[in-house]
Structure 1
């Protein structure tokens, strides 16, 4: 049985975004920005920051980074 995930609203107003080190040098235009806001990690397209934010629990983001290393 999978663990239930609580859904809540996260306010990303005023957070600091940084370009992901996994985006490469940016020459191909495929860049993402990442923001850590406590238990949630936000990810957005650096070329279209108004398009929306994907959010992940911090534990899921850590697992993704470990898997992609």
Structure 2
């Protein structure tokens, strides 16, 4: 998504207020230490939407 928008990781990072390394981690699926707010800002910056849910058995509960 970022590449299609013609942006480098550093440019994306600057726009969402994080370091380039954090953008790299998000893009490589290393989300253990990422804040939901950071992921949300990343996705919104490329025209996408963030959603989160809990899965309890067969039930899916959307929380964001």
Short-chain TM bin: under 0.3
Which of the pair is proportionally richer in helix?
2
TM-score, normalised via structure 2 length: 0.24
TM-score, normalised relative to structure 1: 0.23
Structure with higher strand content: 1
